[in-house]
Amino acid sequence: MAKRGPYGKGEAKRAEILRVALEIFAEEGYRGTSLRKVAAACDLSLPGLMHYFDSKEDLLTQVLRVRDETARLRGAGEDDIEQVHHVIQEGAKTPGLVELFVSMAAAAADPGHPAHAHFAERYPLLRERATAAVRRAVDEGRYDTTIPPERVATLMLAVVDGIQLQWLIDRSVDMEQPFDDLLTLLRADDATRGPGGAGVSRG
Amino acid sequence: MAKRGPYGKGEAKRAEILRVALEIFAEEGYRGTSLRKVAAACDLSLPGLMHYFDSKEDLLTQVLRVRDETARLRGAGEDDIEQVHHVIQEGAKTPGLVELFVSMAAAAADPGHPAHAHFAERYPLLRERATAAVRRAVDEGRYDTTIPPERVATLMLAVVDGIQLQWLIDRSVDMEQPFDDLLTLLRADDATRGPGGAGVSRG
DNA sequence: GTCTATACGACGATAGAC
DNA sequence: GTCTATCGTCGTATAGAC
């Protein structure tokens, strides 16, 4: 199970494939990118590539996992709300990966799709973490609402996901503003409920 | 351009195809549904079907247009906010069409995709209407925020789109709750900022 | 275990007959 | 306006070399 022994090379190659695939999807978008093209970029034949994955959708799902992991690691140690901003900014640079994420989310509607398990784990996890952060903010008097923290967390995730659809069509849409505006609405101090002020304080 | 003359039959057939395609996508999901299957359901060969459309993506885009039109007509005369609830409830019954919508939104990231023009028209239109409704609510003192109406409108659209991604994975997610919660946060009367009350009043 | 060669069925697209 | 026939490409499956 570890990376030692005769599996070392295989694991390394698998990781390389995922890295290369992520690059290609980021640069050229995920649509119209065939597995044969990915294989060629890895100096591999198509079956050689498929040796490491059960199917195309399995590969795509693992690319998504890598992306999630990368974003998570870069935001390590930060506050949960900070991490959200970080992930948003990262996503805003790579339309191809946002496109991949949204497409996979649609495909994962089918319980039999490999990505279904991924999202089925991911959303509850994100909701839990966001819920904890919201609960803390309410307890400390920073947020002023009696809406249950779980529901506020669900609302936050919806905003972050949803703005991406608008952004995919029109890149001039500000991907951070709606989330910041939501935070403003949640904030206890009424003086900050307007746009003139600092919005969210960070940095 | 009208439905009269020798084009009458063609236009009728085109409408029938779109209606049948919508049905199939709603029942079986849009994934794994080939054009040959749609053609067969219309008693047509594949080229026979393609005579009416430039490409598969063109057909899909027009299916989306029909869906939008249908939802719009059913909500005619209602308040804009009411229409949102109507569209949400309608969508919640047909996962296959939500899946289609999300997939197309991702595909439309490419400016060359036929659906790009559709979304590029749709979002500004929805934003304008929502902006007007929000401005009215603020002017009448029903909403209490100094966030510009355009930004509140963008936030609303993000919530409605985003909750669909969560719902596609877990159908037990309430598609209306987040939007209602957002309205609660916007509402002027602080006594209604909690979940105990009526939430949004309608009907 | 790692990888190539080859082949299969299905897809969307198109040419040309009627 | 609709068909048959065909094309190129896709993801997938199998056989077997090393």
For position A189, what pLDDT does the model report? 74
| Nearest in space to B158 (alpha carbons), one of A115, A157, A201, A202 | A157
Residue A29 region, left (φ>0) first, then alpha (ψ -120 to 50), else beta? left
Alpha-carbon separation of residue A12 from A15, A52, B95 (angstroms): 5, 11, 39
How many other C-beta atoms lie within 10 A of the C-beta of residue B42?
18
- Enter the pTM of the model: 0.93
Instruction: Supply the mean pLDDT for chain B.
Output: 91
Task: Please give the pLDDT value at position A7.
Answer: 66
CA distance B162 to chain A (A): 4
Instruction: Tell me which nucleotides of strand D come within 7 A of a protein CB.
Output: 1-5, 9-15
Q: What is the pLDDT of residue B6?
A: 61
Pure H helices in chain B: 7-28, 35-41, 46-50, 56-74, 80-91, 95-107, 114-139, 149-169, 177-186
Domains annotated for chain B, with CATH where assigned, are 77-192 (1.10.357.10)
Residue A2 pLDDT: 47
- pLDDT at site B197: 45
Question: Which bases of chain C come closer than 7 Å to a protein CB?
Answer: 1-7, 10-16
User: Which of the residues in chain B have pLDDT under 70?
Assistant: 1-7, 190-203
Are A156 and A182 within 8 A, CB to CB?
Answer: yes
Say if B123 is an interface residue toward chain A (CB within 8 Å): yes
* Residue whose CA lies closest to nucleotide C10 C1': B34
| Confidence band for A71, pLDDT divided at 50, 70 and 90 | confident
Spanning CA of A161 to C1' of D7, the rounded length in angstroms is 41
Distance from CA(B123) to C1'(D12), angstroms, rounded: 39
Which of A 52-111 lie inside 8 A of B, CB atoms? 95, 98-99, 102-103, 105-110
